[in-house]
Structure 1
Amino acid sequence: MKHKVKKAEGNVSTVKQFVLLGFSDLSNLQEFLFGVFAIIYIIIIIGNSLIIILTRLDPTLQKPMYFFLANFSLLEMSYVTVILPRMLVNLWTQDRSVSVLGCATQMCFFLMLAATECFLLAVMAYDRYVAICNPLHYPLVMNQKMCVQRAVSSWIIGIPVQIGKTATVFSLHFCDSNKINHFFCDVPPIIKLACGDTLVHEMSVYAVAMFFVVLPFMLILASYSKIICTILKLPAASGQAKAFSTCSSHLLVVVLFFGSATITYLRPKSYHSAGVDKLLSLFYTIVTPMFNPMIYSLRNKDVIAALRKFFLKK
């Protein structure tokens, strides 16, 4: 397959700002979209904040599993806050311009938080693996110090790589257009605007995605392979059902997040289209974080009990 190279016509001008096209093609639905995304943002903030409060206040939730869940909820709020407020401003004011620095900042934080999510989901899978496959060693392996170290590692592991990746992308020359056909500053739509040979940059996107998406997913897959084998060996059906119930919520989140992210970043460039990219990105950046609190609360008896106690006290 031939790699297309955009050539600059004349002098390459320095881009001072970008324009996020977002959903500008849906001109009659701007107010409706603003209302929908505003409600989604409120749901995400309230739902995840509630999980953090419950895991801090309820003694029954003082376990490694819920410590990681609180971290995950904080991550989800940070994740959508990088994207949604800017999108809401664009929809409300119809001013879609964003400075190069603002765009680079948004991309950098998005990439760092996305990397954190990948590895935090892997750590949560490992926690379930130890709890089910090695229950006698669980208090030793998942002690408070180790939990904190694993959580902190998940938060910081992507920082240097993603800062470097952002700097590399914005060192490109943009000679075709400054209009980003997306609702936030993501790597693929910005590379599309660059002139010259971008093959090396595109390959580096694949390499980074392989490390931050495929590697954690393989670790999760390995953990759940062991978990499923162990569960199937349990003698009682009730024990199997209980073990599956503790993992099903996390597994559902993994499928939702990694499924859409993998299709977005690892499918061939020839299959990319602005509409599909926006739809997939919308799914793993906004829709999935909205459903995560509901997935974890509605499918977890401990969280439901803690939620009931919390509101009864209030």
Structure 2
Amino acid sequence: MKAYVLKDEAYQFDNVMNKTVGKNELVVQLKTAGLNHRDLKLVERVPSTGKKFILGSDGAGIVKEVGEGVEDFQVGDEVMINPGLNWYNQSEAPPNEFEIVGVPFNGTFAEEIVMPADFVAKKPAYLSWEEAGVLSLSALTGFRALFTQGEIQPGETLFIPGVGSGVNSFIIKMAKAIGARVITTSRSEEKLTEAQTLLGFDRGILTNSEWSEELQNETIDLVIESVGGLTFNRSLSVLRKGGTMVMFGSSTEDETTINLREFFYGQYTLKGSTMGSREEYLALLQFMEKHQIKPLMDKVYSFEELDEAFDYLKEQKQLGKIAIQIQK
């Protein structure tokens, strides 16, 4: 089958062998997939060994074949991929067996994928194929960061730097759905205005402004950070004493320094977060259907245009998710 792979530190199309379906597995003929920053960064993390790795963590499609022991799905079902493998129950941290679809496990940038049935879910009818194909990794990451780790409550104020991120757009929509106040940032005044119309957050400030001055009259209960070292201390400076910061990524520097005395006198709580369990994924789908939350879509590319889609993501100009149409 045709697939988009990482091989010898290069992204390329190639033909790969279809995996045979096993016990408690099913074959999904993919219709759409989602592009994430994880796909962009894997070239820096995977050594050159000559092996082909199929990229892509998000996807949606139609069940083509079911293996022995599969009872909850049948051929023809419309489904979505849960990319967080081997993490069943909500816990403080993922188990050692936790993997993410798309390196080293075969990914979704292919005509089909063989998946454990436990990590496939029925596609909600209110979502289009493009919406279903981009949802899982970002929405699950946002759900755990906001609710499990951040424990956001109605009426509290969330500060989340970087409005253009796919994860952040989900977090903003989910926080607003429960009645929280949301403040975010962008490097562009024009992008802030457009994003506020689309996402409905309460306030936006420019990335290059003095955050502590801009927000001195706000009470920030929760900060969710994914920019990393470049903004960590700036984000911490606007958090109320006793507040919580949740980190789910680091798109800039992985290392930073903090003033420990200020931190412990401020009684802050710092939590890490990544992806989420199967239990949280199913809760996420229920929450999204209850509130009719859809992904904020930026662009849709054809399968053959994946190189162009990667170049677009590198520019960091997107507002929302990038979908890949595998098959019509």
TM-score (norm 1): 0.25
More strand by share: 2
Larger helix percent:
1
Larger radius of gyration between Structure 1 and Structure 2: 1
Q: Name which structure has the greater RCO, CA cutoff 8 Å, separation 6+.
A: 1
